[in-house]
Structure 1
Amino acid sequence: MWWAPRDIAARKDRVTYCLGIVTSDGLVMASDSRSNAGYDQVNVCRKMYRFVNEGERVFVILTSGSLSISQSVLSLLRADFDAGLGLAAAPSVYHAARIVGDTVRQVSEIDREALERDNYSFNVHLLLGGQVKGQPPALYLIYPQGNPLQATEDSRYLQLGEVKYGRPILDRGIEADTPLEIAAKYALLSLDATMRSNVTVGPPIDLLLYRKDSLTVDRYRRLEANDPDLRLIHTSWESSLRRAVQQLPEIDFAREPATDLG
């Protein structure tokens, strides 16, 4: 199937799935690594980026949308961070989200006009999770316009890309006091559901757990398609789900319907 240029950017957001979860214990960040899928070609590209000054600040960024735009944004953020500027000086995660948004706008000033002249959308979304010493952990979604949206007590996760398949398990399972290790399982199940229903989302999966106030990254996995832990979670969940459905109460079809169905 062929897509016109103006449709490609819209499809790019669906050729990915990233999510962040914030609980009282900390953060879970997870992403797939598929950037393009088709009959002839599958490209793999990392979508998780870390900015860490141990003992002082930790930021994790996940990206979706145009790969060229997100690479430009991350390159500028990295250059400033390495120079002690930008994210390296942000006093809170909110201010960090604003810095990321300003960088998105900076890239927009450079590239948007040329892209839109050829009917390409300026399309990039980012998730930023992390913590600055003395401040609580937080999670933000940054839009292509540069404005941030924060995960809240009532909505403890944020998603990018192909979100619909992986949302129900998160809605049913994630709570404020969900242990970090359990939240990581929900994240993998959410990704598994998405990969099962959409071939454009695929491994390797990057999974990172950040424990509140640790101010370091020491729990990270990159799970390939043949990873035994990933396969075990997939098969265990499917068998558990089938078993749970079989154990549900029987439907009583003998009762009279509430209305006359004709």
Structure 2
Amino acid sequence: MAGHSKWANIQHRKGRQDAKKAKFFTKAAKDIILAAKAGGGNPDDNATLRLAIQKAKAVNLPKDRIENAIKKGTGELAGGDLAEILYEGYGPGGVAMLVEVATDNKNRTVAEIRHAFSKHGGNMAENGSVSYLFNRKGVIVFLKDKYTEDELMEVGLEAGAEDIIDDGDSFTVHTAPADFMAVQQAFADAGMEYESAEFNQVPETFIPVDATVGKKVMNLFDALDDNDDALNVYMNADLPDDLFDGED
């Protein structure tokens, strides 16, 4: 059942980048606004909002900013007029890339995203030409030094998990979007602490790249991720394990 997802190094790098920038507050607030806008402001009835609030609390977004973001999403406060857009493109080496954004100015954002692709050796693509290479999944990550694969399988499979992936230092549990909250809750009820739990676009296949191309791909990834309107960036690059050796 287990296999190497080739995603851990990308996500680890992304986590380190996010930890260095104050922008994660803005991202967390936008996630809440979009969730409340789509499904209402009551987290008990809106699983997506409940997850967005969990993630906001994990990055210590203040309570008043969480509450204001919910109100913006429901229209009680101004500032909730955001459009959620998925941009598609290719990076160096033919790596497929998706960029999820939330913006109040589509023209500005698409120009900035297109510039980032062009500057770093990539190009934007038509809608649907890249997204079919990815599947939206619930993704729950556990450190290996806390739990065994058998322990995760015992709880996860009974709750509806699809797969458990060996990612080197961690195990990644994949779920269908509809089963995500139930699986997450099952782990919580079992007292099993995870490192992260979120929805991701998971590649169906990965493109191996060498260190030279990998660095170019990551330069593009970082440029896209640093965009003020970007919520998430995904790609199907199989990066060399030692690409980030020596980095903080």
Q: Normalising by the residue count of structure 1, what TM-score does the alignment of the two structures yield?
A: 0.25
By percentage of residues, which structure has more helix? 2
Structure with the greater alpha carbon radius of gyration: 1
Q: Normalising by the residue count of structure 2, what TM-score does the alignment of the two structures yield?
A: 0.26
Higher RCO (CA < 8 A, seq sep 6+): 1
